[in-house]
């Protein structure tokens, strides 16, 4: 890893803010690094308020969307809530359908089958709507590129409202309303909402017309927070407000489906990290292993006992998913070695037997071994389908766009995308993608970068410091967990590799004149043990966290990396 010490902020700004807030210089420095420079900024940051949410009617087409939904209700039309099969899509469908059903009964949900229909709006879904007399489809977390599908629906007298957050293409679908803050002619003040977030803005707009207050929508925020966490959107602006309040709902009064998914956890309070690693994978597992409708079923369930039964099925899906992604990852690593592509600047692998539901996870796993933009392909009908993942700073969406002559269909974000192509174009695409990465990827992006906020002494760590750092949460892009570094450290001689495969590192670090001991754990750092043996001096980069063990809680260092002095 390349350690990059972030530019240290202006000392006068830091000192002024420290005085204004009554905090120490280190806390003030971390705040200024986040562009929080005044008491007012700090108040918004530490106490996110639902009053800080923007007027939903500032979003392009919002008034048209609300009018069309109100017309559907007035005319007793059947409304189909349609969404993608991942966490963002299934939470968005659960959110929208739950809210609409509180106003009106003629509402149903539709999640496309990952294997039969693929990503996004499908002709099969539109045919289902037509066969069952639905005259309005509300598409969430998809649809911004569904030009032909929306036209097809229109020919069948079915209107579309699109709620999406993906980048639009050159043409916008001819839907009744298109809600997507990434549209160039949309002046909405915040364009980093997830799909469920855009859906929330629509129910917020509907609620205004129902004379409801924002407080009436708080019960829906557990879904929004889950989507924000899972989709890894920036934890800034409205996302921070929605995630902050959504986490409170998850911890105090979650919907029965989420309560069923987490009921076995022995935790007093869940963090956004728990949402990412505990709740989200289970919701995702339904769409990966079976069908995304299972996720909607549990998230819209109102009976706890029924939710527990659904949760046990989802637990099995998740367990199967774990086994499968390990098996496929091992096969992909073997393929890279067999084709002698270890030195490439990109990873593109394919097997027709790989499970389409886990190739995105496998792509992320491969990046842990070969740090480079990665695409994992499998067979999908008469096409090859891939999930793409990227490394920090490299736009894989743009790279795929530069290979579009060989691509049938693609969509996504800077760091995650999906695509399909014809089998005869696979090798051509693979060569072109490697060439694009070689030509466009700066040298500094080829090794993982670790951004460090500040160099500190371990003696600076106190319960008070940790209490304030906890209030920086929820963490995520643009508000990452503060990373510190300290030099001149030694292990007390009891450092060891831990875990079933000895891949983790557990240390008791000695520091300072009094040689006080600090507990530390480094996940995936087991091979660094030789750097700290025999009393060697080393430096460490770490975050500060809590360790819960046997009913006691203590502060521990979460090691990000260790280097020799």
pLDDT value for 513: 65
pLDDT value for 553: 76
Question: What Rg do the C-alpha atoms of the chain give, in angstroms?
Answer: 25
Q: Is 376 helix (H, G, I), strand (E, B) or coil?
A: strand
Domain spanning 56-312 has what CATH number?
3.90.1640.30
Q: Would you state the structure tokens that stand for residue 89, as one six-digit string? A: 């899509």
HSE, side-chain direction, 13 A CA sphere, residue 397: 12
DSSP string, 398-457: HHHHTTGGG-SEEEE-SSEEEEEE-GGGHHHHHHHHHHHHHHHS-GGGGS-EEEE-EE--
Size of the chain, expressed as the number of residues it contains: 565
Residue ranges in 191-232 assigned as alpha helix (H)? 195-209, 221-231
pLDDT value for 266: 66
Pairing, β 504-511 against β 496-498: antiparallel
Cβ atoms < 10 Å from Cβ of 150: 24
Domain 339-446 matching CATH 3.10.310.30: the answer reads yes
What are the residue boundaries of the structural domains of the chain, listed by start? 56-312, 339-446, 449-564
Q: Are 186 and 165 in contact (CB under 8 A)?
A: no
pLDDT value for 334: 95
- Tens digit of each residue's pLDDT (9 = 90 or more) over 378-408: 998 899 999 999 999 999 999 999 999 999 9
Q: Are 178 and 172 in contact (CB under 8 A)?
A: yes
Q: Is 60 helix (H, G, I), strand (E, B) or coil?
A: coil
Domain spanning 449-564 has what CATH number?
2.40.50.460
Among residues 213, 265, 274, the alpha carbon closest in space to that of 247 is found at: 274
Q: Using 50 as the pLDDT threshold, list the residues of the chain that sit under it.
A: none
Among residues 501, 563, 486, 499, the alpha carbon closest in space to that of 532 is found at: 563
Cα(276)–Cα(282) distance, integer angstroms:
10
pLDDT value for 336: 94
Going through 205-364 in order, the beta strands assigned E by DSSP cover 347-350
> Which helix (H) or strand (E) is 348 found in, with range?
strand 347-350
Q: Which residues are registered as beta bridge partners of 558?
A: 521, 543
């Amino acid at each position: 890893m390349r350690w990059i010490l972030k530019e240290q902020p202006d000392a006068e700004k830091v000192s002024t803010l420290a005085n204004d807030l009554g905090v120490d210089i280190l806390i003030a420095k971390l705040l200024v690094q986040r562009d929080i420079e005044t008491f007012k900024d700090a108040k918004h940051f530490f106490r996110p308020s639902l009053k800080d949410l923007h007027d939903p009617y500032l979003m392009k087409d919002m008034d048209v969307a609300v009018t069309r939904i109100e017309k559907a209700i007035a005319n007793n039309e059947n409304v189909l809530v349609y969404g993608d099969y991942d966490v963002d899509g299934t939470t968005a469908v659960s959110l929208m359908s739950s809210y609409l059903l509180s106003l009106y009964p003629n509402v149903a949900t539709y999640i496309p089958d990952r294997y039969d229909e693929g990503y996004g709006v499908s002709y099969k879904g539109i045919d289902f709507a037509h066969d069952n007399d639905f005259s309005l489809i509300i598409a969430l977390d998809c649809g911004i590129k569904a030009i032909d599908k929306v036209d097809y629906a229109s020919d069948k007298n079915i209107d579309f409202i699109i709620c999406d957050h993906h980048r639009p293409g050159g043409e916008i679908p001819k839907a009744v309303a298109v809600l997507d803050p990434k549209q160039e002619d949309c002046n909405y003040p915040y364009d980093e909402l997830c799909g469920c977030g855009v859906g929330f803005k629509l129910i917020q707009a509907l609620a205004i017309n129902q004379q409801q207050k924002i407080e009436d929508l708080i019960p829906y925020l557990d879904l929004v927070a889950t989507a924000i966490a899972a989709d890894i959107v920036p934890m800034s602006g409205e996302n921070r407000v929605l995630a902050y309040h959504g986490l409170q709902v998850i911890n105090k009064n979650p919907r029965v489906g989420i309560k069923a998914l987490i009921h076995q956890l022995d935790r007093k309070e869940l963090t956004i990290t728990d949402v990412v690693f505990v709740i989200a994978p289970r919701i995702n597992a339904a769409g990966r292993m079976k069908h995304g409708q299972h996720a909607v079923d549990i998230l819209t369930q109102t009976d706890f006992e029924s939710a527990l039964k659904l949760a046990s099925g989802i637990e099995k899906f998740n367990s199967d998913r774990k086994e499968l992604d390990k098996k496929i990852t091992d096969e992909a690593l073997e393929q890279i070695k067999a084709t002698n592509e270890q030195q490439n600047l990109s990873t593109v692998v394919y097997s027709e037997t790989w499970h389409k539901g886990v190739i995105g996870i496998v792509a992320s796993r491969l990046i842990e071994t070969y740090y480079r933009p990665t695409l994992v392909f499998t067979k999908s009908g008469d096409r090859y389908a891939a999930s793409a993942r990227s490394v920090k700073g490299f736009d894989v969406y743009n790279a795929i766009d530069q290979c579009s002559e060989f691509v049938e269909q693609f969509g996504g974000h800077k760091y995650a995308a999906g695509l399909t192509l014809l089998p005869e174009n696979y090798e051509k695409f693979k060569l072109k993608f490697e060439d694009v990465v070689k030509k466009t990827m700066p040298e500094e992006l080829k090794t993982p970068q670790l951004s460090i906020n500040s160099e500190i002494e371990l003696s600076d760590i106190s319960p008070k410091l940790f209490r304030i750092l906890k209030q920086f949460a929820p963490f995520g892009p643009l508000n990452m967990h503060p990373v510190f570094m300290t030099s001149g450290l030694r292990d007390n001689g009891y450092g060891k590799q831990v875990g079933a495969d000895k891949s983790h590192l557990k240390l008791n670090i000695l520091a300072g004149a009094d040689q006080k001991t600090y507990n530390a754990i480094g996940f995936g750092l087991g091979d660094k043990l030789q750097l700290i043996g025999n009393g060697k001096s080393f430096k460490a980069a770490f975050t500060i966290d809590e360790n819960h063990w046997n009913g006691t809680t203590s502060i521990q260092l979460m090691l990000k990396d260790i280097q020799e002095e």
